């Protein structure tokens, strides 16, 4: 089984993907991390890379070809990416969402911590992060509609949807794991 995790920024996708991969002892592939590294190699932030992608499909195609190949050649892994459900249609598709203001607070806290996300320039306040996230979401919609005719934020594309706004990390993980184990038919570990 392949589990694809998608959703809105700051919804807890990475946290869940890491914990789920550890629990199942499966590899985890992080497409956002790949995109951030590709942006960094070009001397760009993720926001700048996404903007470039609105005109140049290569910024998406490299990562999307990689995940498509993974889905055709490997099994039993977790993949985290906005288009993963599309390129691996036989995956168990999980979508996490969160209120945009909560998202901005979570991301701002992470940016001020020791984690470098190569997100955008001048993210000095929560309001800056919120504005950047709105622009990012619109860029995602524009690129994926243009190149693949899909809306990654359309919930009908997913098998399980969870709003993480009022939940802590343990509650989010438990709900996701309960769903996954029901699909895997395994006992709770």
**Beta carbons within 10 angstroms of residue 127's beta carbon:** 12
- What strands, in cross-sheet order, belong to the sheet with 28-30? 28-30, 77-80, 2-7, 92-97, 160-163
Each domain of the chain, given as residue ranges in start order, spans: 2-184
Is the pLDDT assigned to residue 57 strictly greater than 70? yes
Is the pLDDT assigned to residue 5 strictly greater than 90? yes
Closest CA to 54 of 136, 132, 131: 136
Average pLDDT value for the chain: 89
Report the half-sphere exposure of 79 (CA within 13 A, side-chain side).
30
Cα separation, 142 vs 156, whole angstroms = 19
Q: Tell me which of 25 and 59 has the higher pLDDT.
A: 25
What percent of the chain has a predicted confidence (pLDDT) above 70? 92
pLDDT band, very low/low/confident/very high, at 122 (cuts 50, 70, 90): low
pTM of the prediction?
Answer: 0.86
| CA angle centred on 119, ends 46 and 21, rounded to 5° | 90
Cα separation, 182 vs 175, whole angstroms = 11
Is the pLDDT assigned to residue 114 strictly greater than 60? no
So what's the pLDDT on residue 189?
44
**CATH architecture of the domain with residue range 2-184:** 3-Layer(aba) Sandwich (3.40)
Q: What is the pLDDT of residues 159-182, one digit of tens each?
A: 999 999 999 999 999 999 999 999
Q: What is the pLDDT of residues 58-83, one digit of tens each?
A: 888 889 999 999 999 999 999 999 99
Angle in degrees, 0-180, between the axes of helices 13-24 and 169-184, rounded to the nearest 10: 50
Q: What is the mean pLDDT of residues 90-105?
A: 93
So what's the pLDDT on residue 188?
46
């Amino acid at each position: 089984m392949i589990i694809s995790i998608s959703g809105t920024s700051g919804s807890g996708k990475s946290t869940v993907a890491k914990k789920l991969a550890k629990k199942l002892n499966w590899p985890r592939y992080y497409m956002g991390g790949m995109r951030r590294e590709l942006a960094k190699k070009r001397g760009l932030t993720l926001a700048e890379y996404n903007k470039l992608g609105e005109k140049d499909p290569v910024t998406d195609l490299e990562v999307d070809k990689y995940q498509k190949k993974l889905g055709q050649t490997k099994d039993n892994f977790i993949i985290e990416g906005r288009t993963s459900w599309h390129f691996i249609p036989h995956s168990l598709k999980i979508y996490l969402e969160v209120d945009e203001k909560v998202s901005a607070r979570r991301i701002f806290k992470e940016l001020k911590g020791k984690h470098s996300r190569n997100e955008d320039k001048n993210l000095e306040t929560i309001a800056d992060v919120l504005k950047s996230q709105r622009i990012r979401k619109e860029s995602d919609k524009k690129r994926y509609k243009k190149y693949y005719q899909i809306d990654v934020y359309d919930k009908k594309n997913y098998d399980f949807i969870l709003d993480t706004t009022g939940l802590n990390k343990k509650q989010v993980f438990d709900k996701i794991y309960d769903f996954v184990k029901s699909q895997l038919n395994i006992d709770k570990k």
